[in-house]
C-alpha cells in the first residue's frame, strides 16, 4: 500500500491513504471502482490534486491556476445491446461517461466525435455556453452521424450584488445527450449518454475517491442489481458521490449509515448553517447533487447498501453496495457474506 | 427604445432598458409576454416600482409603504373549451391568472366574483388568512354559482426567537381554486384556476420582467408545445420566473443556460451561503418557487428552451422558449430559425 | 385547565398552556391526539422536557445530560387486518410506532422483540450504527420469527473542518422495518412498521405537542380519509410535525394557514438565512422532515386541513384535519361543522 496523501487546501483534514492496488489514484472514475462492471474504464478529467487513476491507464490532466482551458476529445460509441457511451479515448466509452471537473473560472472545450450513425450531442447543466454549444437540435447544435463538433463550456464565480450575490457555477452538475431520438435526447439518455460534471470553488475539499450514481428509469448506471456498481473505499477515506437523475420515473437516493448536508457541497458552513442533514433525497429527471462522506466514519467498515427508497424500485433491482474496506484495504468481517447475499437475493428475478 | 430604468432599492444593479414597444412596463404579466397566446392580458397587481404594463392596458397599483391594503376584484370566467380563468376585469380572465404581489406587512382584500355556474374559490399558499378565507368547502369558504365573496390575505415579517427566527410570509407563492368538482378543487385547477402570488421583503431586488410557469398535469399554463408560452426579454434585463406545480404528475423544471440558487429569492446571501445552485428543480403538486436571472448573462442572446426534464413529458410537449433578444430588442441571429424549428418539431404530434 | 408551561432552554418563547385533560403532557404521541384512531396509544420516548403523556400511561424517560444511553424495548406485533406495529410495551403497538427522541451525543439501545412469525427488523435513518444494527438481511441484521435482538443507534454533533463543518446527526429522521417480505422490508413498511425519530441539538426549541404524519402509498398513517388522524392543539401552542414518506407513490405534504422554513428545524437562523419558506413539500419514499408552528398563529383557531397536494391523492382520501382549538381548549365556532363535513365528504367513497 502506498501512502500518497497530500495536504488539503484547507488544512483541516487528516492524511489519508489510498486503496492498495490503485496507488496514486486520487480521482478514481466510477466505473473503475465498480465490481463486476462490464464497461471499460472511464478516465476522469481530474482538475483537483493533479493525478488520475494510473490503474485505469488514463491521462492525467493537471490542475493549473483558475482560468485553465481544458481541451478534451470525447467519443460517442455504441457499446452493443442498445447501449451507447461517452469516452475520452477511442474504444473506451463507458456508462456513465467520464467524470469531468473544472474550477470556477475554467473553460472546457470538448471536441465531440460521433462514431454512431445517429444524431448525438452533449448538453451540460449548470455551466455557461452560447447557443452554438446548447447541444440541442432546437439550436442546430448537435453532431450528425459521423460528425465532429466542438462545444465550449465556461464557468464563473459568484458576483456580489450588495447584500446578495448572484450565484456562480459551482456545483455537482451533469451532461447528457440532447439529440438522439427526439428533440430532448430521450433515446440517447436511455442508451447511456450521460455523465457527471463538477465545478468546484477554490478551496473546496477534495476527495480521495469519486462515485457517479445515475438513476435512469429503473436502472442504476444502466444496470439492475445484482449488476449495479459496487463502490469501494477504505475506512477513513473521503469519498464523493455524484448523484444524477434521468428518465421517466421518480426516485429517492438513500445511503446506509452515512449522511450529508443538503447544501452545495454536502458540508455545512459552520454552526449557524441551518441546512437540513439528510441520508435520502429526491433524484428526478435532470436533477443532480453531490456530497462527500468519510467512508465508515463513526460506523466502521462493512458492506453498506445504497438504493432507491421507492419500495418497488429497490425490490426491482435499484440497489447496490458501498463497500467500506478496513483501513489497510483488507475485507471486513462478514462483508463478503453480504456481497454474496446481495448477488443471491437482489434484483427483480429474486422476488 | 425608451430607457425607463430606475434606481434599485439596493443600489447594486446597473441600469437596464425595457423592451421597445412596452415602455414603462416594469411588471409585465406572464401572458403578455407569451407569443401566440390566445388568452387576453393578465394585469398584474404591481406593488414594486409603481407602474404596470401600459401596453396591456392594466391599472397600475402603486407601491405604498408597508402595511398597504390592496383591494382588488377578481372575476372567475369560463373561457370555452373547458377552460376557466381568473381576471382583474370582466372579460379579461387568463390562464394563469394575474400575478399578485404584496410586501410583508401588506394585506390583500379580494372580492371574488363567480360568473360561472359552479362552486369556485380562491385559496392562497403562504399568506395568512382565517377560516373564512380558507377557500375550501371544508370551511364553507367558497362562492356558489354567481356569488360574490371577499377573501382577506395578510402577511407578516419574520419574528426573532433568540438565535432563531420564526419565518415570515415572504416567498414565491401561488393561489388556486379549492372548490370546483371536489373538496380540493381538482376540476378548477385542471380548468386553469391558478396564478402566482409573490410576497416580497423590503429591499428585495425587483425584476424588469416576470414570467409565470405552471406545470399542470402534462400541460404548461394549460397548453402543450408548440402552443406553450414564449417568454421574451432583452439581453441584460432582470427576469423573474415564478414556477408552480399542479395536478397528478411529477415534474422537474429545467431552464437552459441560466441557473439560480435554491433559496427564497434565487440569490445567495453572500459568500458563506451554502445553498445549492441549480438549473433543474422538482415542481410537484402545490409546490412553487421563483428566481431571477439576468437574461443571457454570460451566455449571450438567443432562443433558449425551458422544459420539464422528465423525458416523456418533454417529448409529449412540456417545453417552451425563453427568447433572449439583443439588448436593443432586435432578434438574435438564428433565433427565428429555432422558433420555427420548435413549431415544427415540439409537441406530442411530432414524434 | 392546568398551566404546566415551563421555561424554554432558549428563553425566547412565551409561556404556553397545555390541553385540558392532558395535564403534564409535554410530549403527546401522535396517535393520542388522533381523534377516532383505533390504534392504542404510542408512548413517546421523551428526552426533552422530562415528562411524557400521563394520559397515555407511558413511562417517562427523563432527559439527562448529553451522552445519555436510552435503553428501551420495542415489540413488533400484529394488529389484525394485515397491519403490524411497533410498541414500547406488550399489547401497545401502534401505527406509526412510538416517536423516539435523542439529543446529539446520546445512544439508544433497542431490544426488539419480534412477536410475529415473519422476519422483521428496525432500520433507522440519520443516526450511527454498525453493520450489526443495520436492520437488513443483507447484513444478517434482523429478527427471525419470535426472536429478540438488540440494535444500537448512536449520535454525534457536527465537527469543524476549518471553514466547513461535517454534519452531525441532528434531524427529523425515522425508522422502519427492512426485512419483512423482501430485502427492503416492503411488506413490513406497508403493514405499518414505521415511526418517527428525532435527534435534537442542545438548545433546540421544544414543542408542546407532536404529530407524526406518514404518507405511505395512498394512506396517511395507514388510513384513508375520513379515518386519517385529526391532530389537535390549542391556539398558541407550539406544535411539531414529523413528516415521513414511504411506499411507491410520490407526494407533497401541504398544511393550510401555517408555513415553515425549509431548514433542519423549520426555523430560520436569523435575518440572513436565505432558506425558502414553504407550506408544501415533496414527501417521497424514505424522506422525512419536521417543523414547528404556533397553532393558529396570526390566523386564529379553527379546523385546518393538511393533505397531499397531488390532486387525485387528496381526492382519494389523503387528507386530514389539524384542529386548532381555542386557547382554553374549547371548540372554535364552526369547527365541529367542518369536522362533520370532512366525515361526510372526504375519502375515495365520496366522489
C positions 245-264 inside 8 Å of A (CB): 245-248, 250, 261-264
- Nearest-CB residue to C164 (from A256, A269, A334): A269
CB contact under 8 A, C284 and A11: no
A2 has pLDDT over 80: no
Q: What is this model's ipTM?
A: 0.85
- Res. C182 pLDDT band, cuts 50 70 90: confident
Query: Which pLDDT score is estimated for C163?
Result: 87
In chain C, the largest separation of any two C-alpha atoms, in whole Å, equals: 59
Q: Rounded to whole angstroms, how far apart are CA atoms B12 and B14?
A: 7
Q: Select from B41, B247, B254, B45 the least CA-distant residue to B153.
A: B45
Whether A65 shows a pLDDT value over 60: the answer reads no
Distance from CA of B123 to the nearest CA of A (A): 27
> CB A282 to CB B282 under 8 A?
yes
Model pLDDT, residue A19 = 23
Min Cα–Cα distance to chain A from C330, Å: 36
Residues 6+ apart with CB under 8 A from A227: A36, A347
The answer to whether C334 contacts B265, with C-beta atoms less than 8 Å apart, is no
Q: What is the C-alpha separation between B209 and B193, in angstroms, rounded?
A: 22
Placement of cell 433491482 in the chain: A317
Cβ-based contacts of C269 with chain A (< 8 Å): 272-274
Beta strands B230-234 and B319-325: pairing type?
Answer: parallel
Q: Which of A222, A226, A227 is nearest to A212 (CA)?
A: A222
- Provide, as residue numbers in chain A, all residues whose Cβ is less than 8 Å from the Cβ of C261: 274
pLDDT exceeds cutoff 90 at A108: yes
C340 close to B (CB below 8 A): no
Buried residues in A19-43 as b, exposed as e (16+ CB within 10 A): beebeebbbbbbbbbbeebebbbbb
User: Which residues, 6 or more positions from B213, have their beta carbon under 8 angstroms from its beta carbon?
Assistant: B30, B220, B221, B229, B241, B242, B243, B244, B253, B306, B320
| Concatenated DSSP letters of A93-143 | -BSSEEEEEEETT-EEEEEEEE-SSS-B--EESSSB--GGGS-SGGGT-SB
Which 8-state DSSP code applies to residue B335? H
Chain C residues with CB under 8 Å of B136 CB are 256, 305
Return d(Cα B132, Cα A141) in angstroms, integer: 54
C-beta of residue A212 within 8 angstroms of C-beta of residue A336: no
- CB contact set of B38 (below 8 Å; sequence gap of 6+): none
Name which of C10, C261, C338 is nearest B139 (Cβ-Cβ). C338
B315 CB-near residues (< 8 Å, 6+ apart): A182, A183, A184, A186, B348, B351
Only one residue has cell 367542518, namely C338
Chain A neighbours, 3+ Cβ pairs < 8 A: B, C
Contact predicate B288/B264, CB 8 Å: no
Helix (H) or strand (E) holding B190: helix B186-191
Could you tell me which residue, A282 or B182, shows the higher pLDDT? A282
Instruction: Enter the C-alpha cell of residue A20.
Output: 492498495
- Asked if pLDDT for residue A34 goes beyond 70, the answer is no
| Residue C192 backbone zone (phi > 0: left; psi -120 to 50: alpha; other: beta) | left
Q: Using the 8-state DSSP alphabet, how is residue B266 labeled?
A: S
Q: What percent of chain C has pLDDT over 90?
A: 77
Question: pLDDT tens digit string along C14-68?
Answer: 222 222 222 222 232 333 222 222 222 333 343 333 333 333 333 233 344 569 9
**Mean pLDDT score, A231-255:** 98
Contacts of B252 in chain A (CB under 8 A): 245, 284-287
C203 touches chain A (CB under 8 A): no
Residues A310, C248: C-beta atoms closer than 8 Å: yes
pLDDT digits (tens, 9 = 90+) for A134-143: 999 999 999 9
* Pick from A77-81, A181-185, B81-85: least confident: A181-185
pLDDT at A58 over 80: no
- Answer for the pair A260, A278: CB distance below 8 angstroms, yes or no: yes
Is residue A157 over pLDDT 50? yes
A323 pLDDT exceeds 50? yes
Testing the interface with B: which of C240, C269, C300, C310 to mutate, by most B Cβ within 10 A?
A: C310
CA C44, CA C24: separation in Å to the nearest integer? Answer: 14
Contacting B residues, span 271-300, partner chain C, CB-CB under 8 Å: 273, 275, 282, 284-289
Disruptive mutation site among B164, B260, B282 for chain C (greatest number of C CBs within 10 Å): B164
Map chain C to HEC letters: CCCCCCCCCCCCCCCCCCCCCCCCCCCCCHHHHCCCCCCCCCCCECCCCCCCCHHHCCCCCCCCCCCCEEEEEEEEEEEECCEEEEECCCCCCECCCCCEEEECCCEEEEEEEECCCCCECCEECCCECCHHHCCCHHHCCCECCCCEEEEEEECCCCEEECCEEECCCCEEEEEECCCCCCCCCHHHHHHCCEEEEEEECCCCCCCCEEEEEEEECCEECCECCCCCCEEEEECCCEEEEEEEEECCCCCEEEECCCCEECCCCCCECCCCCCCCEECEEECCCCCEEEEEEECCCCCCCEEEEEEECCHHHHHHCCEEEEEEECCCCCCCCCHHHHHHHHHHHCCHHHC
Cell of A119: 444524431
Residue A279, SS3 per DSSP: coil
Q: What distance in Å separates residue B75's CA from the closest CA in chain C?
A: 24
Distance CA(A236)–CA(A218), nearest Å, equals 32
CA angle A311, A313, A316 (to 5 degrees): 110
Residue B251 or residue A271, greater confidence? B251
Report the pLDDT averaged over residues A25-44. 30
- Chain B 31-60, residues with CB within 8 Å of chain C CB atoms: none
Give the span between the Cα atoms of B313 and B311, in whole angstroms: 5
Per-residue DSSP letter, B343: H
* Contact status, residue C285 vs residue C245, Cβ threshold 8 Å: yes
- What SS3 class is residue B4? coil
C-alpha to C-alpha distances, A160 to A157, A163, B10, B263, B267, nearest whole angstrom:
10, 7, 12, 16, 10
Instruction: Give me the mean pLDDT over the A24-35 stretch.
Output: 29
Beta partners for residue C304, in sequence order: C322
Between residues C228 and C64, which one has the greater pLDDT? C228
Q: β-strand B238-246 against B209-216: which pairing, if any?
A: parallel
C-alpha cell at B215: 406545470
Instruction: Tell me the count of A-B CB pairs closer than 8 A.
Output: 167
Average pLDDT over every residue of C227-253 = 98
More confident residue, A23 or B115: B115
Closest CB to B302: pick one of A130, A160, A247.
A130
For residue B310, what are the CA distances in angstroms to A250, B249, C87, C250? Answer: 9, 10, 41, 14
Distance (Å, whole) CA A254 – CA C134 = 13
**Which pLDDT does position C93 carry in this prediction?**
98
Helix (H, G, I), strand (E, B) or coil at A221: coil
Closest CA to A235 of A307, A305, A323: A323
The Cα–Cα gap between A277 and A156 comes to: 28
As given in the structure block, the three cell numbers for residue B117 are 355556474
Which residue is listed with cell 427522541? C101
Interface contact B183-C346, CB threshold 8 A? yes
User: C172 CB contacts (<8 Å, ≥6 apart)?
Assistant: C196, C197, C198, C242, C243, C264, C288, C289, C290
Extract the C-alpha cell encoding C206: 421544544
Say what the pTM is: 0.86
Question: What average pLDDT does the structure give for chain C?
Answer: 84
Q: Give the contacts of A60 (CB within 8 A, at least 6 positions apart).
A: A46, A50, A51, A52
Residue A211 is predicted with a pLDDT of 98
Q: Cα separation of A311 and C190, whole Å?
A: 9
Retrieve residue B238's grid coordinates. 432582470
Give the H/E segment covering residue A48.
Answer: none
Show pLDDT as tens, one digit a residue, over chain B (351 residues): 233 333 223 322 222 222 222 222 223 233 322 222 222 233 334 333 333 333 333 323 334 456 999 999 999 999 999 999 999 999 999 999 999 999 999 999 999 999 999 999 999 999 999 999 999 999 999 999 999 999 999 999 999 998 899 999 999 999 999 999 978 999 999 999 999 999 999 999 999 999 999 999 999 999 999 999 999 999 999 999 999 999 999 999 999 999 999 999 999 998 899 999 999 999 999 999 999 999 999 999 999 999 999 999 999 999 999 999 999 999 999 999 999 999 999 986 665
C162:A12 CB<8 A: yes
Three-state DSSP state, A344: helix
Decide if C257 contacts B129 (C-beta within 8 A).
yes
Query: What is residue B30's predicted lDDT score, i.e. its pLDDT?
Result: 32
Which residues in chain B are contacts of C298 at CB distance < 8 A?
A: 128, 154, 156
- Strand-strand pairing, B277-278 and B238-246: unpaired
| Parallel/antiparallel/unpaired status of strands C238-246 and C319-325 | unpaired
Amino acid at each position: 500500500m502506498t501512502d500518497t496523501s497530500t495536504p488539503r487546501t484547507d488544512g483541516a483534514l487528516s492524511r489519508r491513504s489510498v486503496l492498495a492496488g490503485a496507488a496514486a489514484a486520487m480521482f478514481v472514475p466510477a466505473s473503475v471502482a465498480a465490481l463486476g462492471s462490464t464497461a471499460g474504464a472511464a478516465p476522469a478529467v481530474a482538475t483537483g490534486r493533479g493525478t488520475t487513476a494510473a490503474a485505469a491507464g488514463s491521462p492525467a490532466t493537471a490542475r493549473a491556476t483558475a482560468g485553465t482551458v481544458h481541451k478534451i476529445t470525447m467519443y460517442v460509441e455504441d457499446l452493443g445491446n442498445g447501449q451507447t457511451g461517452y469516452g475520452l479515448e477511442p474504444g473506451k466509452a463507458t456508462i456513465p461517461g467520464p467524470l469531468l471537473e473544472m474550477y470556477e473560472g475554467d473553460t472546457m472545450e470538448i471536441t465531440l466525435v460521433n462514431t454512431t450513425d445517429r444524431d448525438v450531442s452533449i448538453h451540460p447543466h449548470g455551466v455557461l455556453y452560447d447557443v452554438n454549444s446548447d447541444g440541442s437540435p432546437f439550436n442546430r447544435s448537435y453532431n450528425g452521424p459521423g460528425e465532429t463538433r466542438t462545444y465550449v463550456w465556461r464557468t464563473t464565480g459568484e458576483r456580489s450584488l450588495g447584500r446578495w450575490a448572484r450565484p456562480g457555477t459551482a456545483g455537482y452538475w451533469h451532461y447528457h445527450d440532447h439529440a438522439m431520438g427526439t428533440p430532448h435526447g430521450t433515446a440517447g439518455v436511455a442508451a447511456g449518454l450521460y455523465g457527471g460534471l463538477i465545478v468546484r470553488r477554490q478551496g473546496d475539499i477534495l476527495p480521495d475517491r469519486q462515485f457517479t450514481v445515475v438513476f435512469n428509469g429503473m436502472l442504476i448506471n444502466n444496470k439492475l442489481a445484482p449488476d449495479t456498481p459496487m463502490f469501494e473505499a477504505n475506512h477513513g477515506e473521503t469519498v464523493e458521490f455524484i448523484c444524477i437523475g434521468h428518465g421517466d420515473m421518480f426516485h429517492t437516493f438513500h445511503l446506509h449509515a452515512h449522511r450529508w448536508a443538503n447544501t452545495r457541497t454536502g458540508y455545512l458552513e459552520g454552526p449557524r448553517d441551518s441546512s437540513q442533514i439528510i441520508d435520502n433525497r429526491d433524484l428526478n429527471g435532470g436533477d443532480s447533487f453531490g456530497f462527500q462522506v468519510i467512508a465508515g466514519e463513526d460506523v466502521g467498515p462493512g458492506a453498506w447498501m445504497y438504493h432507491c427508497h421507492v419500495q418497488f424500485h429497490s425490490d426491482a433491482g435499484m440497489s447496490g453496495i458501498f463497500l467500506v474496506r478496513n483501513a489497510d484495504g483488507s475485507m471486513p468481517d462478514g462483508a463478503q457474506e453480504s456481497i454474496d447475499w446481495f448477488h443471491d437475493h437482489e434484483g427483480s428475478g429474486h422476488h
